Amino acid sequence: MRLVLLGPPGAGKGTQAQALAARWGIPQVASGDLLRAAVHEDSELGREAVGYMDRGQLVPDKLVLKMIAERLRKKDARDGFILDGFPRNVMQAEALAAGLERAGRKLDKVVAVMLPDEEVVKRISGRRTCRNCAAMYHVIFEPPAKAGVCDKCGEELYQREDDAEETVRERIKVYHATTRPLLDHYRRLGLLAQVDGEGRIDEVEKRILAAVTGDHDYD
Ligand SMILES: [Zn+2]
């Protein structure tokens, strides 16, 4: 199974990718993780990426593509993979398809986990992080025993700048602007399945499985 998972921030894409990867015994390939690993390992690509990040710039497509291509060439990805957080735009999608084609492969499916904007705002702006141990909470879905205090270490919880409502609304705007053309692209190729991202994690997983396998026994 060669699958791309798309979805707005807060849609639980990473969690779903992880569960599906474990179920099928194939790797979850998350561009953010690859980037962090490259930086951590101080690889050539990692050092190049740090150069952009230090200047406050986005890591260019070309570099991200190189990391993805390198990862997909590894042995464990030979029989399949789940791409999470990539591609983000049509240009990346086309480069991905070209790279796969060179290896005699192609994508099987693209699943977009759909979530209303207001639900995204609610999910993300409610997140709280511990200043000390980085444990994560949610004021509605996973509140700490005592408001504003970490259950694990007793330190103060705060809202990351990325999670503030205004920032989230901006992230959603950017997400739609780049993702709409991407969804159209994959729809034209007959690869796209859209799945409702509301509800419990296991419910969403069942919907994804049904969409991917065409088998509704998961209902
Ligand atoms: Zn803590």
Tens digits of residue pLDDT in 120-149: 999 999 999 999 999 999 999 899 999 999
Q: Each residue of 157-213: pLDDT tens digit?
A: 999 998 999 999 998 999 999 999 999 999 999 999 999 999 988 999 999 999 998
- pTM for the model stands at 0.85
Question: Is 95 within the bounds of a domain?
Answer: yes
Question: Is 8 within the bounds of a domain?
Answer: yes
The answer to whether residues 93 and 100 touch, using CB atoms and an 8 Å cutoff, is no
- Report the distance separating Cα 99 and Cα 66, nearest Å: 10
pLDDT of residue 193: 96
pLDDT of residue 216: 59
- Report the number of distinct structural domains present in the chain: 1
pLDDT of 218 > 60? The answer is no
CATH number for position 96: 3.40.50.300
The DSSP secondary-structure symbol of 89 reads S
Question: Is 200 within the bounds of a domain?
Answer: yes
The single residue listed with the structure tokens 């993979």 is 81
Question: Is 103 within the bounds of a domain?
Answer: yes
Q: Single out the residue of 186, 134, 197, 190 nearest to residue 160, CA to CA.
A: 134
Tell me, in angstroms, the distance from the centre of ligand 1 to residue 146's CA: 12
Question: Is 102 within the bounds of a domain?
Answer: yes
Q: How confident is the model at residue 215 (pLDDT cuts 50, 70, 90)?
A: low
Whole domain around residue 13: which residue ranges? 2-27+74-116+168-218
Tell me, in angstroms, the distance from the centre of ligand 1 to residue 28's CA: 28
- Report the distance separating Cα 83 and Cα 65, nearest Å: 12
Tell me, in angstroms, the distance from the centre of ligand 1 to residue 134's CA: 6
Question: Is 41 within the bounds of a domain?
Answer: no
Annotated active-site positions, please?
A: 13, 88, 127, 160, 171
User: How far apart, in Å, are the Cα atoms of 153 and each of 118, 141, 144, 147?
Assistant: 32, 20, 11, 14
Mean pLDDT of 57-71: 87
